[in-house]
């Protein structure tokens, strides 16, 4: 007798919202949703819904039709040396995650624009330091990475009145703000920004992009917000740029090692704001529809939404 069609959805995430497995069960009642493979034949798994899966976990799933990552970034998927390369990989474009990310970037762009870092230091020293309020249009926020999240942040910042410019690896046409592209455009771009927002995927090309040279030709008083990945920045170069004044302040939500080790110098640096990778997160309430749609597409042979290009790494 031929094997029945794969009917299991394997869910793995040690860090996501604990409501995920039940949300998938409710939304896809025709599938069996499992958080491990005990008592299950690997070839019965149709789709894997994962966040930071252990290396090798997906290799034995011989009839897998979809690897659905429940997040925006997919860099960790490619750290699995046994990744089944023929299976489509999809990321989520979650309206909830996008909205929270835009809020976070707006929050910190406003704080940097209003020089809250200096106001907090003045309070620590009981100093009455009047910093005149200025209109947001006088601050240029530069977004590195013009994917879905970068564009959403640009819209929110522009609605607040900021001047926004953007940089991407390849040129993006028809955007309602000034853009720069490629290695050639990077120097002019970073020289124009008062606040730089890192929203790039972590790939072989972007690893360590923010290095000592990057800080050399920033505008005086420039600040940085990293909501992409820790690996985009060379940590020592960042500390040196803060210490010698090339960079005024850094807001860091992502790190090379997470959780950030207790003895890491970022924790106590006066010019660094640390947040625990909570700028945003996938919300099952707003993201489940896309998982359902992608499983439906994958099992019926259609192209899933928001496919990742393995050769580009994002």
List, by residue number, the catalytic residues.
229, 277
Q: Which residue has the tokens 């290695």?
A: 183
* Among 72, 153, 199, 209, interactor with ligand GLV by CB under 6 A: 72
Tokens of 94: 């979650």
Nearer to ligand GLV, 10 or 287 (CB): 287
Q: Is residue 90 close enough to count as binding ligand GLV by CB under 6 A?
A: no
From residue 268 to residue 297, the character string flagging contacts with ligand GLV as x (rule: CB under 6 A) and all else as - is --------------x---------------
Q: Which stretch binds ligand GLV (CB under 6 A): 41-49, 69-77, 108-116, 171-179?
A: 69-77
Q: Which long-range contacts (CB under 8 A, 24 or more apart) does 161-166 make?
A: 161/135, 161/136, 161/137, 162/109, 162/113, 162/136, 162/137, 163/136, 163/137, 163/138, 163/139, 164/140, 165/140, 165/141, 165/189, 165/192, 165/193, 166/142
State the DSSP code for 167: E
| Interface region with ligand GLV, contact rule CB under 6 A, candidates 65-73, 81-89, 105-113, 299-307 | 65-73
Cβ at position 82, least distance to ligand GLV in Å = 22
CB of 147 to ligand GLV, least distance (A): 11
Interface residue with ligand GLV among 24, 64, 67, 71 (CB under 6 A) is: 71
Specify which residues 180 forms β-bridges with: 167
Rounded Cα distance, 236 and 211, in Å: 9
Phi, then psi, of 187 in degrees rounded to 5:
-65, -45
Minimum CB distance to ligand GLV smaller for 234 or for 253? 253
Question: Interface with ligand GLV by CB under 6 A: which range of 12-20, 66-74, 168-176, 264-272?
Answer: 66-74
Phi, psi dihedral angles at 199 (to 5 degrees): -135, 35
Q: Which helix (H) or strand (E) holds 45?
A: strand 45-51
Query: Does residue 73 interact with ligand GLV by CB under 6 A?
Result: yes
Question: With respect to ligand GLV, which residue has the nearer C-beta, 73 or 304?
Answer: 73
Would you count residue 201 as binding ligand GLV (CB under 6 A)?
A: no
Binding footprint of ligand GLV on the chain (CB under 6 A): 71-73, 282
């Amino acid at each position: 007798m031929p094997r029945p069609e794969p009917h299991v959805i394997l869910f793995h995430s040690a860090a996501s919202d604990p409501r995920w497995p039940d949300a998938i069960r409710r939304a896809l009642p025709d599938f069996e949703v499992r958080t491990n493979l005990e008592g299950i034949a690997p070839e019965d798994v149709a789709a894997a819904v994962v966040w930071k899966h252990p290396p090798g976990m997906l290799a034995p799933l011989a009839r897998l039709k979809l690897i659905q990552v429940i997040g925006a970034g997919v860099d960790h998927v490619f750290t699995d040396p046994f990744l089944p390369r023929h299976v489509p990989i999809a990321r989520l474009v979650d309206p909830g995650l996008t909205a929270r990310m835009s809020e976070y970037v707006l929050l910190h762009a406003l704080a940097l624009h209003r020089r809250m870092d200096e106001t907090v230091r003045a309070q620590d020293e009981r100093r009455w330091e009047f910093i005149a309020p200025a209109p947001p249009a006088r601050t240029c926020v530069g977004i590195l990475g013009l994917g879905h999240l970068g564009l959403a942040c640009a819209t929110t910042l522009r609605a607040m009145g900021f001047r926004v410019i953007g940089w991407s690896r390849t040129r993006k046409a028809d955007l309602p703000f000034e853009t720069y592209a490629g290695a050639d455009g990077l120097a002019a771009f970073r020289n124009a920004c008062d606040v730089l927002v890192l929203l790039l995927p972590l790939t072989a090309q972007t690893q360590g992009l923010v290095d000592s040279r990057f800080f050399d030709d920033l505008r005086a008083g420039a600040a940085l917000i990293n909501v992409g990945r820790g690996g985009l920045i060379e940590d020592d170069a960042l500390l040196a740029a803060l210490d010698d004044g090339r960079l005024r302040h850094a807001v860091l939500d992502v790190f090379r090692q997470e959780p950030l080790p207790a003895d890491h110098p970022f924790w106590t640096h006066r010019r660094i704001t640390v947040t625990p990778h909570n700028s945003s997160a996938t919300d099952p309430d707003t993201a489940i529809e896309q998982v359902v749609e992608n499983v439906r597409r994958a099992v019926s042979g259609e192209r899933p939404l928001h496919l990742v290009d393995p050769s580009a790494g994002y």
